[in-house]
């Protein structure tokens, strides 16, 4: 007779979500076992800068809150300061000191950051399973009504602009810290497109690779000059990006996409009639990051943690400065990794892992 105890693989904390705050100085984790003195699951958690306000949505096997309710938690008073309830599940939240943005499957809801529940606006979207939305000082950006479209709202005037960014649904987007450029990626995951938010013109196309990939995260550096990209290829890519304010200054940089930088095909990129893949702009540096071994959605061994995405978020990027960035992931073995950008003796940029740690251990 086998008298050994069955191993319970559910023992121990499991992170359902992980996000950086606005300047990547902190990151917050939603656990299936809760947050603070909450002893039930939190599926989405979003910090407001370094303040005491935290947005939370229930998740996991035993959700603390219904998944159609957003709770703004005051971590000083240890109680909710605002609760917003919707007809469908909350898929994403963005916060600023003046506004709250809530992403549902087919709509974006805008509120003032106050105890008032009066809406500032509601906008229809195409299916937005990822809960995509970017909230800047002057702009709100989210998927449009048709797959692949991006909608930009000027917060002061309410003016709306539409960008036909991709031919398939959006998978990721990022707004630069100064709000002047937008990066988007579609379900294909091969190209990242860069747009000016002032006039919606396309500034560049950056090629991650030639085969399909799931883009996990896009993030601009503090100077707005670099874009970091992660995908399910377990690779972190660093791209130089054009900026409307200083294109000329960077157009001659060795790492800004010239034939000596990240157009990796060299002289082939100058030959006529070759496929465009040979002339596209590739990353100027790349590195491997750890994704963990959580099974993909639909796997019999995939735990039912209540995540709307089916798999815990991975490859979330946060810049410390223009030479240092962090990549974090959730799941059973949630970890953060630190990467440093350096210039080699050959004048090329290199991305090197500088350290890592499991944040759920100990």
Instruction: Provide the residue range defining the domain that includes 178.
Output: 161-362
- 290 located within any domain: yes
Burial (Cβ within 10 Å: 0-12, 13-18, ≥19) of residue 172: buried
Same domain flag for 100 and 169: no
- 315 located within any domain: yes
Phi, psi of 110 (to 5 degrees): -115, 130
- 135 located within any domain: no
**CATH number of the domain that 43 lies in?**
2.130.10.10
The total of structural domains in the chain comes to 2
Identify the sign of the CA torsion 255, 259, 260, 261: positive
- 146 located within any domain: no
Same domain flag for 339 and 247: yes
Same domain flag for 296 and 204: yes
Among the candidates 124, 139, 170, a domain finishes at: 124
Pick from 141, 147, 139, 138: nearest CA to 165 = 147
Residue-wise DSSP of 174-243: EE-TTSSEEEEEETT-SEEEEEETTT--EEEEEE--SS---EEEEEE-TTSSEEEEEETTSEEEEEE---
At 310 the pLDDT is 53
Instruction: Quote the CA–CA distance of 246 and 232 in Å, as a whole number.
Output: 32
Pick from 74, 21, 14: nearest CA to 41 = 14
Same domain flag for 216 and 104: no
Residues 6+ apart with CB under 8 A from 171: 130, 185, 186, 187, 189, 214, 215
Among the candidates 95, 124, 153, a domain finishes at: 124
At 266 the pLDDT is 43
- 130 located within any domain: no
Indicate the SS3 state at residue 249: helix
Same domain flag for 167 and 293: yes
At 200 the pLDDT is 96
**CATH number of the domain that 321 lies in?**
2.40.128.630
- 129 located within any domain: no
The model carries a pTM of 0.85
Among the candidates 124, 146, 170, a domain finishes at: 124
Same domain flag for 190 and 329: yes
Pick from 111, 89, 101: nearest CA to 134 = 101
At 30 the pLDDT is 87
Indicate the SS3 state at residue 164: strand
48-76 confidence digits (pLDDT tens)? 988 999 999 998 878 888 999 999 999 89
Q: How far is CA 355 from the centre of its chain?
A: 22
Same domain flag for 119 and 229: no
Same domain flag for 235 and 173: yes
Task: List, for the chain, all residue ranges whose pLDDT scores fall below the cut of 50.
Answer: 1-9, 248-261, 264-269, 271, 273-275, 277-278, 296-309
Same domain flag for 109 and 196: no
7-58 confidence digits (pLDDT tens)? 344 556 788 889 998 889 899 888 887 655 566 788 899 999 889 999 999 9
Same domain flag for 182 and 249: yes
Burial 115-137 (b: 16+ CB within 10 A, else e): eeeeebeebebbebebbbbbbbe
Instruction: Quote the CA–CA distance of 154 and 270 in Å, as a whole number.
Output: 40
- 61 located within any domain: yes
Q: Both tokens of residue 30?
A: 């939603």
- 70 located within any domain: yes
Same domain flag for 205 and 310: yes
Same domain flag for 189 and 293: yes
Q: 10 Å Cβ neighbour count for 338?
A: 15
């Amino acid at each position: 007779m086998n008298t050994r105890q069955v191993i319970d693989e559910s023992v121990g904390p499991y992170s359902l979500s992980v996000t950086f705050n606005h300047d990547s100085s902190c990151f917050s984790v939603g656990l299936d076992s809760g947050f603070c003195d909450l002893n039930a699951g939190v599926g989405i958690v979003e910090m407001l800068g370094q303040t005491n306000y935290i947005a939370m949505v229930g998740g996991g096997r035993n959700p603390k809150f219904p998944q159609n309710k957003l709770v703004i938690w005051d971590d000083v008073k240890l109680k909710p300061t605002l609760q917003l309830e919707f007809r469908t599940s909350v898929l994403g939240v963005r916060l600023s000191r003046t506004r709250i943005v809530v992403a549902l499957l087919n709509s974006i809801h805008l509120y003032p950051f106050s105890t008032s529940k009066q809406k500032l606006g509601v906008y229809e979207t195409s299916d937005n399973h990822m809960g995509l939305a970017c909230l800047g000082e002057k702009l709100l950006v989210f998927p449009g009504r048709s797959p692949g479209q991006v909608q930009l709202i000027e917060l002061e005037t309410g003016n709306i602009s539409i960008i036909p960014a991709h031919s398939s649904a959006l998978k990721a987007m990022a707004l630069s810290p100064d709000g002047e450029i937008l990066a988007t990626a579609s379900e294909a995951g091969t190209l990242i497109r860069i747009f000016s938010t002032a006039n919606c013109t396309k500034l560049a196309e950056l090629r991650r690779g030639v085969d399909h990939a799931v883009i996990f995260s896009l993030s601009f550096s503090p100077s707005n000059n670099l874009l970091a990209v992660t995908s399910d290829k377990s690779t972190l890519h660093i791209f130089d990006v054009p900026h409307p304010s200083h294109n000329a200054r960077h157009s001659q940089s060795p790492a800004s996409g010239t034939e000596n930088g990240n157009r990796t095909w060299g002289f082939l990129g100058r030959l006529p009639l070759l496929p465009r893949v040979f002339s596209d702009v590739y990353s100027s540096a790349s590195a491997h990051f750890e994704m963990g071994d959580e099974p993909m959605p639909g796997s019999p061994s995939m735990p039912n943690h209540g995540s709307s995405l089916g798999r815990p978020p991975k490859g979330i990027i946060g810049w410390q400065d223009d030479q240092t960035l962090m990549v974090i992931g959730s799941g059973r073995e949630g970890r953060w990794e630190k990467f440093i950008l350096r210039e080699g003796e050959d004048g090329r940029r290199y991305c090197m892992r500088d350290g890592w740690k499991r944040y759920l251990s100990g």
